[in-house]
Structure 1
Amino acid sequence: MDLNTITEVVRRPPDPPMVHWRDGDAWLAGGTWLFSVPQPDLRRLVDLSALGWDAVTVTEDGVHIGATCTIRQLYETAPQDHWPAFSLARTSCEAFLSSFKVWNAATVGGNICLSLPAGPMITLSVALEATYTLCAPDGTERTVAAADFVTGDNRNILTPGELLRSIHLPADALRKRHTHRRFSLTRLGRSTVFLAATRTPGTTDLLLTITAGTTRPIRLAFDSTPDAATLRDRIDDLPGDVWFEDPNGTADHRRHLTRHFAEQMRVELAEEDRP
């Protein structure tokens, strides 16, 4: 889509680019959403792709993902055998179910900052207990938990001119055992629900992450494996307005699917504990 209100595109911004932020600006990374709908309030685009941020860096403390890393680059990152939960990265990339054109342009940071319920990079980062580095126009940085970033459908904690610089998946979370469930109405459809569960090796704890079916990501933590009734009660105790509703599913449908898949994952991880 042509954005006919844009008067300037900053192709080579300074690094960091936030210091020159002004009203009417938008950060441009992949642009797969930005150019898909009218943007009448925008006057200038600041191209972040020219900054050359590292896509994926693997260190002893985990995996660091640059905000401009494309879905393709993340998907093609080599599996980390000592970090079994990192395979959730590929699973989450596949949840886009989009063309190769989108995979080659859409960015991890863009998907997170768009903050839609079905954003699979949100599922990945919340399930693996990620932290985000956010940069403000005054040059300061802050680190926030991925679980606290999205506050609702297309809403998050970013302030004007602030940008997401990087995502850190910690080694401790990457070592965990994990499982997931995803449902969509059609084979190539948007996620109706997308759930992930992790367990620390040598323990019976359970961390359940609920996304796509809710307006913001939900995490339910248990020190030990809950029984079926306890798990169901925790899900039923969630506020009624947290359940998302659109043509892909009603709130009741999404709640039902969440209960169903959460129980499957509880049983799956519990069975792996048996000798």
Structure 2
Amino acid sequence: MDLDIDTVRVARSRADCALRPGETFLGGGTFLYSEPVPAEVTGLVDLTGMGWEPWSVDGSGLRVAGTCTLEELLAGPGALGGAPGAPGPYRGLGIVGECVSALTLSAKVARTATVGGNLALGLPAGSMAGLFAALSARAVVWTPDGGSREVAVSDLVTGAGVVDLAPGEVLREVRVPAAALGQRTAFRRASLTATGRTAAMVTGRAGDRSPRITVTAAVGAPLSLYARDHDMVDRWVDWIGSEGAWYEDTHGSRDWRAAMTRRLAHEVLDELGGAA
């Protein structure tokens, strides 16, 4: 850890979230502390002091605070969902545990890393984007002028490490609509090694008409499709390739990621295509 900064402020009110020159927000800090801090960053504003309730659920759906840790997500919404595919009013959350596990993190990191931090990083392997995009969730973003705006989680990450958050904006919470909570979900992932970084991840949700299939990790930004059949999946995978959208790094080539995504998407479609 190379943490060369001058100040750390703990935010306890929205007014405290107004950034001063050189400041940036701190969530869990598990990624921030693992990388050299950019030279222009001289101070941190710790959002965990805001005291936001990690998560809540009511008739309108599920709300997950940006500062909700992955451990809290797993113990709360993850437990509500039960086992993947199990019946119940919150069975859409049955893939929470698998999405958290896809990050291949230790229990120590899970106790600190936050949902908002994972989304705000916009890393292809950041599985919170795949989870909440599959559930048609929307992110509530606080703007520096005291207002707020909403953006679909599927549109929040726009590229590898590129997120639709302007300087000074805070990812306040993620909202999952009630209808998505009761619908069946499915999850598949692939990596080059048993404990390697996720290189292709497909999440799906059984909709009213066609399953919604979402691919992450293999692409720079989440891509979703309402797939009626396997031919649609194949055409979609081919289209992704024609657009040059496959992501490539040491954890997987473009061709391998395309092949894995095709296989995983077919498996998710098969799983969601059965009787409700």
TM-score by length of 2: 0.92
Shift of 1:87: 1.3
Q: How many residues align?
A: 266
Q: How well do the aligned residues superpose, as a CA RMSD in angstroms?
A: 1.5
Counterpart contact for 2:103–2:125, Cα < 8 Å: no
Structure 2: which 5+ runs fail to align?
A: 82-87
**Residues 1:149 and 2:156 aligned together:** yes
- Supply the distance in 2 between the matched residues of 1:261 and 1:219 (Cα, whole angstroms): 14
Match of 2:235 in 1: 233
What secondary structure is seen at the aligned counterpart in 2 of 1:105? coil
What secondary structure is seen at the aligned counterpart in 1 of 2:199? strand
2:219 aligns with one of 214, 217, 221: 214
Match of 1:90 in 2: 97
Counterpart contact for 1:22–1:161, Cα < 8 Å: no
Match of 2:191 in 1: 184
Match of 1:247 in 2: 250
Letter of the 1:266 partner, please give it. Answer: L
Structure 1 residues 156, 194: CA separation in 2 closer, same or farther (over 3 Å shift)? same
Please show how residues 1-275 of structure 1 align to structure 2 within 5 Å.
1-4=1-4, 6-18=5-17, 20-39=18-37, 40-77=39-76, 78-80=79-81, 81-200=88-207, 203-222=208-227, 225-226=228-229, 228-238=230-240, 239-270=242-273, 272-273=274-275
- Supply the distance in 1 between the matched residues of 2:21 and 2:195 (Cα, whole angstroms): 37
Counterpart contact for 1:132–1:144, Cα < 8 Å: yes
Percentage of identical aligned residues: 35
Shift of 1:41: 1.6
Shift of 1:12: 4.2
Shift of 1:183: 0.8
Structure 1: which 5+ runs fail to align?
A: none
Shift of 1:22: 2.6
- Supply the distance in 1 between the matched residues of 2:146 and 2:220 (Cα, whole angstroms): 31
- Supply the distance in 2 between the matched residues of 1:115 and 1:209 (Cα, whole angstroms): 15
- Supply the distance in 2 between the matched residues of 1:16 and 1:155 (Cα, whole angstroms): 26
Letter of the 1:90 partner, please give it. Answer: G
Letter of the 1:50 partner, please give it. Answer: G
Counterpart contact for 1:177–1:199, Cα < 8 Å: yes
Counterpart contact for 2:124–2:160, Cα < 8 Å: yes
Counterpart contact for 1:13–1:46, Cα < 8 Å: no
Letter of the 2:80 partner, please give it. Answer: P
Shift of 1:16: 4.5
Match of 2:84 in 1: none
What secondary structure is seen at the aligned counterpart in 2 of 1:50? helix
Shift of 1:104: 0.6
Letter of the 2:32 partner, please give it. Answer: L
Structure 1 residues 43, 249: CA separation in 2 closer, same or farther (over 3 Å shift)? same
Q: Following TM superposition, where does structure 1 have runs of at least 4 consecutive aligned residues deviating by more than 6 angstroms?
A: none
- Supply the distance in 1 between the matched residues of 2:166 and 2:90 (Cα, whole angstroms): 34
